[in-house]
Chain A
C-alpha cells in the first residue's frame, strides 16, 4: 500500500519500460488499403491518411488532460492539431499508471510524452531523408510534413510505412521552449464540440446491447446490512426484473433507471436494517472527541526548536481555535458504472480516477485475473478525488455477477451520492503563537485533531506518513519562525473517507492563513507586510519529505498584492484579504479577495490569483482551473455534511449549498513564470479562496470567522 502522494507518483511515472521499450510494431489497419499504421509507442498511431491518434494516459474529468497531454506530444512531433484524434487509455501492460489526482497529470507525463513525440518526429525525418537521399540534418518538420531543401515536402501519412522501419532513436532531441508552436498557446478544450452538442459520452451515457439498469438499496448508515426484506413489492413494479443480494446491499435490476429507482423505493419500505457499529455516530459526539484531542497526545508532523518551551516564556501568547466541517464531493454526474461479464472475462465502463486499481479490484471481486477485465474509462462528469475510490466500480461488478452477467449499469441517485460519499472529514485546529518583547513571532504551534483520511485509504492501517499527510498545508508553513510544532491528534470516526479536491490543505491553510491574519492585526502589522517579513530572504526550505522555494512564493504574493491594489483606500464595509501557499512545494499561488457586507449579506466581488506552476502548457486551461478551483473552495465556505444517528443529514444540493452562478466572483488570473518544468494546477487554487475571503471579511467588518460553514448569523453585526 502506498499513500496518496506515492500512489500518484508511482502510478504517475509511466513505467520506464514504456519509454525505453518504444515498440516498433507496424499494425495492419482494418479496411481495404493494405497500408500500415506507424505506432512507435503506446501513445500514438499515425495512419496512412496522415491522421494521428493520440492515447491519453490519464483520465479526463474536466481538468483538461485530453487537451493538454496531446498538446505536449503534438508539439514535439510537429502535428497538425486539426488532424488528431484523442482516445482514452485502458489499464493494461501499456498503461500501468493511470491514477489521476494530486494535480500531477502534466508533471508526471511531460518528459515521457515529449520523448514519445520527438522519437516519432525523428523517425519520420529519417524516413524522408532516406527517400530523398539526403542527410537527416537537412530535413525539418512542420505541421504534419517533413520538409527538405528545394521545396521537398512529404506528408506524415505518406511516410508512415517507411517510418515504422526506421530504428528507434534512444535519445531523440527535444525542442527548445523558444521553438514551441503549440505549447503555451491558449488552446480550447479538445472535446468542446462534442460537449455542446450532447455527443460526449460520460459513464452514465454508456449503452450496451441488452443493457439493464440497477439501483442498490444500501443501509443509510455506512457499514450497515439489510436484516429482512420482501422482494415481491419491488418485483411488482413495472419494468423490474430481479432483486439480488450484493455485499453493499440489495440491487434492483430493471429495464430502465426509473424502474430501478421505483423498485428500490418499494423494496426500501419492506426492509429492516442491522445498522452496525456506526449507528450512534453524530457530529456532536465527534466534536467532543476532537476537542479532547486538541490537548491530548498527538503524532508529530514537523518540529523546529522547542515551541512549547518558547511559548511558556513568551512575552505574549495568542491562541485561537478553528473548525472545518465534513465535506462531500457532489460531482454533478453521480457515481455509476456499467459491467458485463462474459465467458472469457469481464468488461467495465467506469469513470475512474484509479483505473488500474479499479481493474484489479473488480477482477478480485469476480475471481478473475486483472488482464481478464477490460476497463474502459469514458468522460468523467467531475472527479474531485471521489473517483479515486473503487467502491462504485467493484459494486457494479458484483451486481452484474449476482444478476447473471449483465450488461448492467448501476446508477446512484443524488441521495446515494451524498450518503455514501468517501467524505472529507471534519477537523479542529488549535493555533498558538508566542510573541517576543518586540512583537515578533517566536513560536508557532498548530495542533490538528480529526479522523485520518490516509488511514481510510489504507484500508484501516496507520501509515508511517499519516501525520505528515494529515498535516499537509500546516507542516509546510512557509514562514521563517524560530520554533514550530505541527502535530496531528487522530480521532476515530466510522465514516468512509477519501481524497477531496485540495485535500487536508484546505482546512489546514484556512486555519494557518486566517490565524496569521489575526497575529498581524494583534501586533498592529499589515497582513501583507507581516507575510513578506516572515518569508524573508529564505531560499529553498525543507519540510520533512519535501521542499519549497520560498522566493517563488514571495514573488507570487507580491504580484497578487500589486495587481489587486493592496493598501488602496476602500469604502466602509469593503475589504481586501490575502492568503498564499506553496502547494506540495511545486505550485506557488497567492490570492487577494475583495468583499463587502451589506445588510448582513456577504458579497465576494473579486479574487485576484497569481500562480507559478512552472511552464504553462495551456494558459486557457490554467485559467479554467483557477476559476473552478476558486468556485470549489468558495462552496466549502457555505456547505457542510453533518451526522445524526450514523447517517448524513444532507442528501442533495438543496441542503448542501454549492456556489451558484450569481455568487461567482470575478476572477483575475496572473501567471508568474519561473522557467521551471510544469507542476500542476487542479488543486492549488482551492485552499486559498476561503482564507482570502475570510481575511477580507475581517478587514471589511471586524468579524473574525473561525468556524465553518459561514452562517448568516455570523454576519449579523455588520
Chain B
C-alpha cells in the first residue's frame, strides 16, 4: 500500500492505506478522530463534513488520494477549546439535540461564514441543503449561523 502524506488539524500524518479509502474512515479508524461522523456514506447527510483547504467537503465522498497533500481540518481542529464563533453561537442557541449531526453542521457553518460573513436565509438554506438532522434542530441552526455572523437572530 502506498503511503500518503495527510495534514490534519496542522499535524502531518503518513498514512499507509488504499488510496481509494474515503477520508472519513482514515480520520475515524486510522487517526482516531471520531468527531467526524458517519451518517450515510452516500453523500446525502452531511454528517461527515470537514474542511479541505478551507472548503466544506464531505469526507465520505473524498478519497485519501484526493485529500493527500491538502490541509484537512476536522471538528477537533476547528478551535483549541471550543472557542470558534460558530461553536460559541451553537452553545448560545442550544442547538444540539442528540448531537450526532452537529459536527458536520458546524463545519459547514464555519466554511459558509468564511466565504460569506453575512449570509442571508437563502444562503443558509443552500449551504445546508445536503445536511440531515433527524432530531430537527434546523431553526436553531439558522439562528446560530446568524448569531455567529453577528447579525440579529
Partner of A658 from B36, B129, B134, B139 at Cβ < 8 Å:
B134
Q: Cβ of A628 and Cβ of B136 under 8 Å apart?
A: yes
Residue of A with least CB distance to B104: A332
Q: Cβ of B37 and Cβ of A200 under 8 Å apart?
A: no
Residue of A with least CB distance to B106: A196
**Inter-chain contacts of A658 with B (CB < 8 A):** 132, 134
Q: Cβ of B137 and Cβ of A414 under 8 Å apart?
A: no
**B135 → A minimal CB distance (Å):** 5
Does chain B have a CB within 8 A of A246?
no
Residue of B with least CB distance to A262: B18
**Inter-chain contacts of B141 with A (CB < 8 A):** 661
Complex: A60 Cα to B99 Cα, angstroms: 10
**B20 → A minimal CB distance (Å):** 9
A379-394 interface mask toward B, CB cutoff 8 Å, 1 = contact, 0 = none?
1111110000000000
B12-52 interface mask toward A, CB cutoff 8 Å, 1 = contact, 0 = none?
00000010011001001110111111111110110100000
Complex: A168 Cα to B50 Cα, angstroms: 53
Q: Cβ of B132 and Cβ of A660 under 8 Å apart?
A: yes
Q: Cβ of A192 and Cβ of B100 under 8 Å apart?
A: no
Q: Cβ of B47 and Cβ of A198 under 8 Å apart?
A: no
Segment touching B, from A26-34, A117-125, A201-209, A270-278: A201-209
**Inter-chain contacts of B137 with A (CB < 8 A):** 624, 627-628
**Inter-chain contacts of A7 with B (CB < 8 A):** none
Main DSSP-derived SS at the B contact region: loop
**Inter-chain contacts of A193 with B (CB < 8 A):** 82, 91
| Residues A628 and B135 in contact in the complex (CB < 8 Å), given A192-B94, A652-B44 | yes
**A194 → B minimal CB distance (Å):** 8
B119-144 interface mask toward A, CB cutoff 8 Å, 1 = contact, 0 = none?
00000111011011111111111100
**A86 → B minimal CB distance (Å):** 14
Does chain A have a CB within 8 A of B111?
no
| Residues A198 and B98 in contact in the complex (CB < 8 Å), given A257-B38, A662-B125 | no
| Residues A188 and B91 in contact in the complex (CB < 8 Å), given A258-B21, A382-B135, A414-B39 | yes
**Inter-chain contacts of B140 with A (CB < 8 A):** 624, 627
A434-473 interface mask toward B, CB cutoff 8 Å, 1 = contact, 0 = none?
0000000000000000000000000000000000000000
Q: Cβ of A192 and Cβ of B96 under 8 Å apart?
A: yes
**Inter-chain contacts of B74 with A (CB < 8 A):** 198
Partner of A189 from B40, B81, B96 at Cβ < 8 Å:
B96
Complex: A655 Cα to B45 Cα, angstroms: 12
**Inter-chain contacts of A64 with B (CB < 8 A):** 97
A191-227 interface mask toward B, CB cutoff 8 Å, 1 = contact, 0 = none?
1111111111110110100000100000000000000
A residues adjacent to B (C-beta < 8 A):
60-64, 188-189, 191-202, 204-205, 207, 213, 238, 255-258, 261, 330-334, 379-384, 411, 413-414, 620, 624, 627-632, 635, 652-654, 658-662, 664, 666-667
- A-B contacts, 15 of them at CB < 8 A, read A62-B100, A188-B91, A191-B99, A194-B99, A195-B103, A198-B74, A202-B99, A257-B25, A332-B132, A334-B38, A413-B41, A627-B139, A654-B42, A660-B128, A661-B131
**Apart from A62-B99, A334-B39, 20 more pairs, CB < 8 Å:** A63-B97, A64-B97, A188-B94, A192-B90, A198-B76, A331-B100, A333-B98, A334-B38, A381-B100, A383-B98, A627-B136, A632-B134, A653-B42, A653-B44, A658-B134, A660-B131, A661-B129, A661-B131, A662-B125, A662-B128
